[in-house]
Amino acid sequence: MSVEIPQSMDDVVMQVAQRKLHGEQVTENEVIHGAVRDILQALFDEALEGHYDDVKWSGERLLVTDFMGKKVGEVSPQGASFVADFRENADALILRLEEETTKLVGGR
C-alpha cells in the first residue's frame, strides 16, 4: 500500500498538517474519508495485480465496479460511518477491508 495513504490517526494528523503547509484547507474527516476509499482501492489493485476494479463512494458505502462498470459488490461501515470506524480502530478497519476484498475477488 502507498505510504501516502494514511493508515492511522497519527498519519492523518501529519497529512493534515502537511497539506495546510501547502495552503490546502482540509479536515481530519476529509483526509480519513479519502484514505478509506484509497485503502480499499489499493487492496483491490494488489489482489487483482492491476487496476481493474474501481472503488467509489455511494453515500456511506463503498461501491466496487469492474472495468465494464458492472457492480462487483459494496462495503458498508460497521459503525455510523467509515470515518467513525477509522477513528475507533484503524487497524481493525483495514483488516476488515482486506477480508472484504478477499471475499469479493474470490467470489468471481
Spatial separation of the C-alpha atoms in residues 56 and 63, rounded to whole Å: 5
Outline where 1-108 has alpha helix (H).
9-21, 28-47, 82-106
Q: What is the mean pLDDT of the chain?
A: 95
pTM for this prediction: 0.93
Which pLDDT band, with edges at 50, 70 and 90, does 15 fall under? very high
Q: Is the pLDDT of residue 3 over 90?
A: no
Dmax (CA) for the chain in angstroms is 44
